[in-house]
Amino acid sequence: MIGRRTLLASALAAPAFAQSAASRTLRVIPQANLTSLDPFWTTAVVTRNHAYLVYDTLIACDNQGTPHPQMLAGWSVEDGGLRWVMTLREGLRFHDGEPVRSIDCTTSIIRFCVRDPFGQSLGAALAEARVIDDKRFELRLKHPFPYVAIALGKTNGCFVMPERVARTDAYTQIRDTTGSGPFRFLSDEWNPGSQAVWAKFDGYVPRQEPVNGLAGGRVPKIDRVEWNVISDSSTAAAAMATGEQDYWEYPLHDLLPRLRRARDVVVDQRLTDGTYGIMRFNCLYPPFDNAGVRRAVAMAVDQKDWLTAVAGDDPAGYGRCEGIFACDTPLANEVGSEILKTRNLERARQALAAAGYKGEKVVLLAPGDYPQINALSLVTADLLKRLGMNVELVSTDWGTVVQRRASREPPEKGGWNVFHTTSGGADLILPATNLYLRANGANAWFGWPEDAEIERLRAAWLAAPDEAAGKRIGEQLNARSMQVMAYIPLGFYWQPSVWRRNVTGVFRSPTTVFWNIGKA
């Protein structure tokens, strides 16, 4: 049978230059709609991925989490760690042709420190970000802060904008997308909810080192990157199978078997970080204002139940991680995590009774439009019911969940008792970036746990003199968190990506970036 593409290829054969133009465009189905262009204004992953196309970073981490100079030629630490001198490498230019100067970097760092959680820790230690000359600047600290390079180079790191843009208040969205990254954003082709387009920046000077995670040479090998938003997963899968799209960032797990059977399609694990499930309690109201009740629920949890609900039965698709730090990272440990290995419903029931649960209603928020988090929520609802708890499952949309979780009202007045979320592994590597760990009451993340010991340990980690001391504190933090149990870690699942076989140069990285990727 003659198909449309066969017909078009033969009867309507396009000129050679048109074909080569098509082969120089990468058509991507992004994980979400690109609605905001400011990576400091929102933490949306899709905005971060846009930022990696448009902006460059001073420092970047490799796949082992080690920071390397990216825009910088290098840095030195002086005065007992109180002075970090950074030097820009030669040839860096913004998309408007202006050279990248030190003032652009210091202004960007200051804006980064306002909103980013790790940036806020850096900001608290920062006495001054001072320009030495156009190529050199220094960060003067109030006290030693050994994590400067990691804070600036982490996945959600410090993107460098021109000074005029970086001066925008961090709570106000920028409009100017001029960056110095490998691609230019084509704002006149931006149709939010449908399409976003970037063109190769010919003036970009990549590093010479081979790519490793986000570090190394960011070589643009494609002329044009097009993101085409396809909100329906079945349609997206069909578009990949027919070759209408080249790359799909976050395919739904349910569709992976079908995609694996498709010719000319590769399904593989590109992202280096797993996605971690989190069951979050509201510590303000009964029954979860009682740590004993929270711990009783933890005793019944078998992470596998939650992970298979999201990622399916293939054991390669998920992993247990019974601690508060992302597994296989330096601080990962299971000190005090024995409670998560109980996995016994009967013992959990006994513990629940002993903790004094009196049948209070448990309001559980489940976002029906967010398949992964909805699956986590439904498994929890089932478990709580089996434990004998009085569960009210509120099935709603994600927009309502994020609003309602911010309510500190009692559950019966529009508040809540339990909800779920997911987090990239990169955010769970360090105490400074793990927001769910915070226990500073009203200022803590939604759920508002209060525990002075956790806060003390977190502060101690930020001031830890060396890696060994930091590790010891990490163990204490894990043990204490298992006592407080403000949230239950539900393990991690892998989020594969999908691309056509003619897409070349796809490499492992903690987030989806498009440099070094070409098309045969």
**Which of 171, 263, 316, 466 is close enough to bind another protein by CB under 8 A?**
171
Per-residue burial over 87-109, b if 16 or more Cβ lie within 10 Å, else e, is: bbeeebebbeeeebbbebbbbbb
Cis status of the peptide bond prior to 315, with omega within 30 of 0: no
Least CB distance from residue 434 to another protein, whole Å? 10
Which position has the token pair 């290995």?
A: 341
Q: Sign (positive/negative) of CA torsion 182, 186, 189, 190?
A: positive
**Which of 87, 195, 329, 395 is close enough to bind another protein by CB under 8 A?**
195
The two three-digit tokens of residue 21, written as one number: 């133009």
**Which of 42, 290, 329, 483 is close enough to bind another protein by CB under 8 A?**
42
Q: Per rule CB under 8 A, is residue 263 in the interface with another protein?
A: no
Least CB distance from residue 144 to another protein, whole Å? 26
Nearer to another protein, 270 or 405 (CB): 405
**Which of 23, 25, 44, 89 is close enough to bind another protein by CB under 8 A?**
44
Q: What are phi and psi of 457, to 5 degrees?
A: -65, -40
Least CB distance from residue 57 to another protein, whole Å? 18
| Residues 10 to 39 in contact with another protein, rule: CB under 8 A | 33, 35-37
CA distance 293 to 503: 51
Q: Which stretch binds another protein (CB under 8 A): 61-69, 191-199, 284-292, 331-339?
A: 191-199
CA distance 508 to 287: 43
Query: What is the widest separation between alpha-carbon atoms in the chain?
Result: 78
Q: Quick count: other Cβ atoms within 10 Å of Cβ 415?
A: 18
Nearer to another protein, 398 or 507 (CB): 398
CA distance 341 to 322: 8
Q: Per rule CB under 8 A, is residue 398 in the interface with another protein?
A: yes
Q: Per rule CB under 8 A, is residue 6 in the interface with another protein?
A: yes
Q: Per rule CB under 8 A, is residue 269 in the interface with another protein?
A: no
Q: Per rule CB under 8 A, is residue 228 in the interface with another protein?
A: yes
Least CB distance from residue 100 to another protein, whole Å? 25
Q: Per rule CB under 8 A, is residue 235 in the interface with another protein?
A: yes
Q: Sign (positive/negative) of CA torsion 515, 517, 519, 520?
A: positive
Q: Per rule CB under 8 A, is residue 43 in the interface with another protein?
A: yes
Nearer to another protein, 183 or 276 (CB): 276
* Site residue total, another protein (CB under 8 A): 61
What is the chain's alpha carbon radius of gyration, rounded to the nearest angstrom? Answer: 24
Least CB distance from residue 229 to another protein, whole Å? 7
**Which of 59, 265, 444, 473 is close enough to bind another protein by CB under 8 A?**
444
Least CB distance from residue 26 to another protein, whole Å? 16
Q: Sign (positive/negative) of CA torsion 303, 309, 313, 317?
A: negative
Least CB distance from residue 117 to another protein, whole Å? 6
| Residues 468 to 507 in contact with another protein, rule: CB under 8 A | none
C-alpha separations of 2 from 72, 188, 293, 298 in Å: 55, 38, 65, 58
First-to-last CA distance in the chain?
27
Q: Per rule CB under 8 A, is residue 241 in the interface with another protein?
A: yes
Q: Quick count: other Cβ atoms within 10 Å of Cβ 279?
A: 25
Q: Per rule CB under 8 A, is residue 4 in the interface with another protein?
A: yes
**Which of 64, 76, 231, 269 is close enough to bind another protein by CB under 8 A?**
231
Q: Per rule CB under 8 A, is residue 399 in the interface with another protein?
A: yes
Least CB distance from residue 155 to another protein, whole Å? 12
Written in H, E and C, the secondary structure of 294-324 is HHHHHHHCCHHHHHHHHHCCCHHHEECCCCC
**Which of 142, 143, 164, 175 is close enough to bind another protein by CB under 8 A?**
175
Nearest to 158 by CA among 186, 184, 183, 139: 139
Nearest to 425 by CA among 358, 496, 493: 493
Which residues would be at the binding site for another protein (CB under 8 A)?
1, 3-6, 33, 35-37, 41-44, 115-117, 156, 169, 171-173, 175, 191-195, 228-232, 234-236, 238-239, 241-242, 244, 369, 396-400, 402-406, 408, 421, 423, 427, 435, 442-446
